[in-house]
Amino acid sequence: MGLGEALRFWLKLGFVSFGGPAGQIALMHAELVERRRWISEKRFLHALNYCMVLPGPEAQQLATYIGWLLHRSRGGIAAGALFVLPSLVLLIALSWVYLAWGRLPVVAGLFYGLKPAVTALVVHAAHRIGKRALRNGWLWGIAAAAFAALLLLDAPFPLIVLAAALAGMAGGRLAPQAFAPGGGHAAAQQGYGPAFIDDDTPPPPHARFSRGRLARVLAAGMALWLAAMAALVLAFGLDGALAQMGWFFTKAALLTFGGAYAVLPYVVQGAVEQHHWLSGAQMIDGLALGETTPGPLIMVVAFVGFVGGWTKQLFGPDALFLAGATAAGVVTFFTFLPSFVFILAGGPLIESTHGRLGFTAPLTAITAAVVGVILNLAVFFAGHVLWPQGLAGRFDGVAALIALGAGVALFRLRLGVMPVLGLCAGLGLAATWLGAA
């Protein structure tokens, strides 16, 4: 199995990887484990467990890990980059359409229906993660505390992640059974036949751990980050929007435990409330666009960057598209660079070790806190959708009905994300034409 064949697969995956991390991981499992037999079930799950511990998009990191295991660093970098490149190009194009023509009745009607659908999707995500993560009273308590800390105290998201990790470390000692990892992915069945990288295949030379290689990868990652940040500071100043975006989304990349929904409150706090790169309503629209494009959902940050670059008119009023596209590229680079470093640096160590409770208990607690964080995000979105002029303004009954319908479709009818978004966009368009919106 050559590098060219692998590159064609990773590019194809980048165009068809809808359905969020669960759908993307399932697609990779079906293609790589069951059909192509590039990697065995056990080795696939071992890689996935590591990616789930890391901050960042686990599906993209899993593609990077498998690409690295198969074809060294160049294979991993290519796999991870091709996984997100189609999404970046599509989001730049859609963001441009949104800002240039978003006030047209057709576009406005579509987004009127998508916003309540996104609110229902966030609630559904909290339910889906909570059903798997909240297995006992300890974890329910952590989730409730995270929800209250955000809603009532407006606590910073990094503080919530740190507090949950400390609670997990303590819980792993006081109640180890409560913080032990659940069955989850490891409960999958094996038996698909021999694989190119099988259960007993020894790690290839490049996947064997050495301190020297670890130091070189970390140094290269830090040098790339410093060079990119220095270039932005020299070109636009330390207080320039691009340098601020690079620094902010580096921090966001290191805090995305639990997937994109978990880090969105942090992005809202910084991008909407602190830096004013976009509004809360635009943030909801961006999430709707992110849900309709392939690739990891965290790619919504490209929309944030595009709108911020366009709004700040980085290159003047006559180069708005260039400003938006540049900012989207900068944000994407700083968001995903840590993921590549985590995989290329930590992969050899993971290939030679297995997880221990001391390693997984903090993640278990963080995942529980994520449920509370996502519920708080749902409250934030619902406030903007149902009371578009603020809580003192009118209640939007039509939007509430669309959100309720989306919830029924997701919870009761078990429709997929794309059909729900399509139906709600159609309802929003109809409501706009009828004058109900």
pLDDT tens digits, one per residue of 19-55: 566 667 777 887 898 888 999 877 887 787 678 778 8
pLDDT tens digits, one per residue of 86-133: 999 999 999 999 998 876 778 778 878 888 887 888 788 788 778 877
Q: 247, 241 in Cβ contact below 8 A?
A: no
- Which residue in this structure is represented by tokens 């686990």? 58
Alpha helices in 54-156 (DSSP H): 58-101, 105-133, 137-153
Q: Label residue 76 exposed, middle or buried (CB < 10 Å: 0-12, 13-18, 19+).
A: buried
Name the pLDDT band for 202 (thresholds 50, 70, 90). Answer: confident
Name the pLDDT band for 338 (thresholds 50, 70, 90). Answer: very high
Mean pLDDT across the chain, nearest whole number? 86
Q: 312, 304 in Cβ contact below 8 A?
A: no
Angle among Cα 214, 357, 164 to the nearest 5 degrees reads: 90
- Higher-pLDDT residue of 261 and 376 is 376
Tell me the sheet residues that pair with 197: 39
Minimal CA–CA distance to 416: which of 14, 117, 87? 117
Is 319 strand, coil or helix?
A: coil
pTM over 0.75: no
Tokens of 200: 């007993």
C-alpha–C-alpha distance, residues 240 and 323, integer Å? 13
Q: 102, 110 in Cβ contact below 8 A?
A: no
Minimal CA–CA distance to 29: which of 169, 192, 258, 168? 192
